[in-house]
Each structure stands twice: as C-alpha cells, then as structure tokens.
Amino acid sequence: MKTNTQILTILFTAIALFIGVQSNAQSVPPSKLRFGIGVDGLLPVGNLSNSTSFGLGITPRLQYGLTNHVALTFTSGIYHFFPKDIPLNFNGQSYTTHYDLDLIPVKLGIKAFVTPHIYLGAEAGMGFQVDNGGGDSKYLASGAIGYATKKWDIGVRYENFSGNGYRNGIIGLRLAYGFGL
C-alpha cells in the first residue's frame, strides 16, 4: 500500500510538471506572490474512517508564480478530525474510547495550470500532531485537481498520512479566497 501511494504521488507530480511545462495557459503571472486562506472539508478513508467521522481544516497558502502556468506553494494550517466512539470490552465490562487527531500540516508543492483556470497540484511535507501531548509526526503527500480564478480557488485532493506504523488518508475539498501581494 505504501509503495502504491508513493508511486501515485510521484505520478501526479510528474503529470503536473509535464502538462504545466507544455501548457500555454496564462493563469499565474510570472514572479507574482499570492496569498490565500482556505476552508477544508476532510473525509477520512481507509483506517482513519474507523476512528474519525470527518474533519475540518483551515489552510493558509502562499503561492509564488515561476512562469505563466507553474507556481510553487507553501501550505500550513490545522486539521481537526471529529472522533467516533470506539466500543471496547474488557473482562466483561463495556467501555468506549475515542482517538483524537489534530494535525498541523506543513507542505511544499507545485501547481501546474493546464488551462487558464484548471490546475493539477502535488504537495508533500509533514503533519505534526498537537493533541494528546503532541510529539507525533506524519509524512504527508497529496495530489490535487482544482479550478482557480483571480480571487477564488476550489480543489479536491487525496492526501496520505504515514508515520509511526500508521497509514491513513483523506479526500479533501478546499475552498479558498486569495489575493496578490
């Protein structure tokens, strides 16, 4: 599973770079800095869906246009996942517990515009757990597709978390408002 996720991430990055370099779109002004703040809806998939029902995120993003159609990104913020009650049975006694998960993502990425408004993106970085005393970190990798205008950006992505023996994923929907700096 880990190998498939890594191959998928590398494939999304390669496609984004190839299409972005070949495109003649003029969506991202050269050498322009943009800032956007996004709200994320997060749907857990895989093992994460056993312990959390959904998540919400706030994600500021800084974007630097390298060319008319390729931009580098830096994204951070916070993801909060709403836990499910997990039933336990110990010596005939029934208990419930839950798994809290709050992450601060720190990711670098690339956006390649394939038309004036449609882009492919890829990001990688670390997620730092801040609940239950924190200290746990996870490798994050994602591939995305989105639609952007001068002010609005909406994108959908698959993001994988792995670290300390865990592999989890989310499908994220990000709606952001942005402006030039």
Domain harbouring 18, CATH code: 2.40.160.20
Whole-number pLDDT of residue 99: 74
Strand partners, 174: 40, 155
Read off the tokens for 154. 């909406």
In single-letter form, the type of residue at position 65 comes to G
Q: Could you count the other beta carbons within 10 Å of the beta carbon of residue 160?
A: 24
Structurally, how many domains does the chain consist of? 1
Whole-number pLDDT of residue 121: 97
Element (H, E) at 106: strand 101-113
CB contact at 8 A, 174 and 154? yes
Candidates 181, 24, 9; CA nearest to 110 is: 9
Mark out the alpha helices in the chain (DSSP H runs): 2-22, 48-51
What's the domain range around 36? 2-180
CA distance linking residue 155 with residue 89, whole number of Å: 42
Mean pLDDT, 10 residues at a time, the chain of 181 residues = 51 50 46 90 88 94 94 96 83 76 94 96 94 78 96 96 79 96 84
79-129 pLDDT, tens digit each: 999 988 877 778 777 777 777 789 999 999 999 999 999 999 999 999 998
Whole-number pLDDT of residue 26: 45
Residues with Cβ within 8 Å of 143's Cβ and at least 6 positions away in sequence, in order, are 8, 9, 11, 12, 13, 16, 120, 121, 122, 157, 158
Q: What's the CA angle centered on 157, arms 4 and 145, to 5 degrees? A: 105
DSSP 8-state secondary structure symbol assigned to residue 84: P
CB contact at 8 A, 35 and 61? yes
Whole-number pLDDT of residue 17: 47
CA distance linking residue 68 with residue 157, whole number of Å: 23
Whole-number pLDDT of residue 148: 95
Whole-number pLDDT of residue 10: 53
User: From residue 91, how far is each of 36, 61, 87, 134 by CA, in Å?
Assistant: 52, 50, 13, 31
Read off the tokens for 162. 């792995």
